[in-house]
Amino acid sequence: MAQGPLEKAISKRQELLSKNAEYRAEIDKNNVEIAQIEAALAIMRNYAPLGQIPGLDEDVRAVYGDLAHMTVPDGLATILLKRGEALTSRELLTVLEKAGKLKPGGKNNLIGVIGALKRSPDRFRKIGGSWLLAQSNGHLPVLELIEEKLAR
């Protein structure tokens, strides 16, 4: 028996409602899995070295403090101190941009970071292609200064 326009419309409507119900069920299932993964990642962030979980952005302010209100050299020293490892000037720049200290994609940002590092040889040392905090007599000369600024 041939369907008229009304029957076709009702049939098509029912078909689409059924598909939507399937899609909603799939979305709900995916949302549950996403929530589980996010919970696991939140735990991993506590134990994984900073920046070592691909695809996750660091909560810059929680990790480093308010870098946006520090001078560039103080911010660089804070980053290196908190990381406890050597970083390239590009990695340091990325953190400063995420913190809002430097405008992302600024033409001269990298040059400014390298200049700040080079202008403070008492604070920073370049080893290979990476920068470290300068150490003298087994202590970090900027530690007290940084802790003072972070406490404010």
Q: What is the pLDDT of residues 67-116, one digit of tens each?
A: 888 999 999 998 888 887 888 999 899 889 888 899 888 889 999 999 99
Residues 41, 71, single domain; the answer is no
Indicate the range of 2-11, 41-50, 52-61, 104-113 predicted with least confidence. Answer: 52-61
Would you place residue 38 in the very low, low, confident or very high pLDDT band (cuts 50, 70, 90)? confident
> Given its phi and psi angles, is residue 84 left (phi above 0), alpha (psi -120 to 50 degrees) or beta?
left
In the chain, the amino acid numbered 135 is Q
Q: 122 and 89: one domain?
A: yes
Backbone φ, ψ for residue 67 (5° rounding): -65, -30
pTM score > 0.75 for this model? no
**Do 107 and 69 fall within a single domain?**
yes
Q: How many domains does the structure of the chain reveal?
A: 2
Considering the domain boundaries, does residue 138 fall inside one? yes
Write out the residue range of the structural domain in which residue 2 sits. Answer: 1-47
Asked whether residue 131 is assigned to any structural domain, the reply reads yes
Q: Are residues 134 and 87 in the same domain?
A: yes
